[in-house]
Amino acid sequence: MSQATATAPSTPAPLVALTEDEVLFRDTVRQFANDSVRPLSKKMDEEGVFEHSLIDQFFQLGLMGIEVPEQYGGGAGTFFEAILAVEELSAVDASAGVVVDVQNTLVNNALLHWTTEEQKKRYLPRMCSDLVGAYALSEAGSGSDAFALQTKAELKGSEYVLNGQKMWITNGKEAGLFILLATVDPSAGYKGITAFIVEKDFPGFTVGKKEDKLGIRASSTCELILDNCRVPKDNVLGQVGKGYKIAIETLNEGRIGIGAQMIGLARGAVQHAVKYAQERKQFGKAIAEFQAIQFQIAQMATEIEAARMLLYNAARMKDAGMSFVKEAAMTKLYCSQVAERVASLCVEIYGGYGFTKDYPVEKLFRDSKIGSIYEGTSNMQLQTIAKLVIK
Ligand SMILES: Cc1cc2nc3c(=O)[nH]c(=O)nc-3n(C[C@H](O)[C@H](O)[C@H](O)COP(=O)(O)OP(=O)(O)OC[C@H]3O[C@@H](n4cnc5c(N)ncnc54)[C@H](O)[C@@H]3O)c2cc1C
């Protein structure tokens, strides 16, 4: 071996490679999801209510402050670990996945990057112990065109007075803290947009109607009403007028989280379908013995593997401090497409039984649809990717 080869840098690890700590963390969440979330999943879907005891267990397991530094009571983990947690929970229940996803990839992310030291001390320990977070950007008239938001914030003495309505806010029912975007100057366009840390008990703040949804029914999606809501000046997040930057940067990470939710869901669906195909007999043999079924399963497994590589690479890029905007958009776009295709095919593999609520894939099919809608629709991901590809 030449000296040049002997001293060459080591080969990068394959994308599937996990550290020992990551394997331990993933397996712990996987076991918890199977033991504690699975028995409640069907009931939560039917009732459209998230079981509160599960949220308590998320806190106890350290799943609500994965990346928060130890000094504030967090797990001092990586973004990649947050992604593993969302994938594992979503393999069992996508609503459980999104509770943990919003807390880590949106709310804690924004708090970690944009708060003052005083705000960190005030909020981060609670985010790791008992405070659920929500991220409030969308309104009835502003979804994809998020910065056309109408909620106004007016400075009066030492407080901002907020007026307006937010819509579609995940964790709305359970949350005690809201990262909420409003404009201090509607004539300034996106430059007026400002992020606020709003506590549930602030005067003038109410959680309104909860949506009755197609999928992720246990995850609460709520309207928020701000009627002369008084927010202390100290609760501005980052700088006044920088809310658009906070929103864009936070959502870039959030999109990788939605990719993880969708890949977990797709994996869960295939696991069910493989088991069923081995048990279900037609024409005197298990349907898994028909090559047509085998090829469908092979195709799904391949697409999930490809999507997971996009997902893991985007998360590793984020942890490595690289730019990951394009990869995050690709991850969300592709993982949600794969999840929808896979969940649909799994319903077919179950035949008529797959179309009923007696079997798990019907729920997974409904849950898969949200991936192409929230945190930027598929069209908006395509727009971001196109902009970065066609420079
Ligand atoms: C279950 C659920 C949970 C949610 N959670 C949250 C949350 O926690 N916080 C939050 O702030 N928001 C949340 N949202 C809102 C979500 O982010 C928006 O619904 C989403 O961004 C789309 O906005 P919209 O519904 O207004 O659709 P629209 O923006 O009206 O889009 C409608 C259609 O037009 C297309 N379209 C729009 N503009 C363009 C364009 N320029 N080019 C091509 N196509 C375009 C879209 O792709 C889509 O197909 C949630 C939504 C749901 C359903």
Query: Is any ligand 1 atom within 6 A of the Cβ of residue 379?
Result: yes
Backbone φ, ψ for residue 183 (5° rounding) = -110, 135
Q: What is the CA radius of gyration of the chain?
A: 22
| pLDDT tens, position by position, 67-121 | 999 999 999 999 999 999 999 999 999 999 999 999 999 999 999 999 999 999 9
Q: CA–CA separation, 161 vs 158, rounded Å?
A: 10
196 contacts 160 by C-beta, under 8 angstroms: yes
Distance of CA 107 from the midpoint of ligand 1 (Å):
19
Q: Is the pLDDT of residue 380 over 70?
A: yes
168 lines ligand 1 (CB under 6 A): yes
Confidence of residue 2 (pLDDT cuts 50, 70, 90): very low
**Digit-coded pLDDT (tens) for 165-190:** 999 999 999 999 999 999 999 999 99
Rounded CA-CA distance 153/155 in Å is 7
Q: Residue 263: pLDDT above 70? A: yes
Active site residue 174: no
pLDDT tens for each residue of 208-241: 999 999 999 999 999 999 999 999 999 999 999 9
Assess whether the C-beta atom of 386 lies below 6 angstroms from ligand 1.
no
Nearest CA to ligand 1 atom 44: 379
| pLDDT on residue 5 | 44
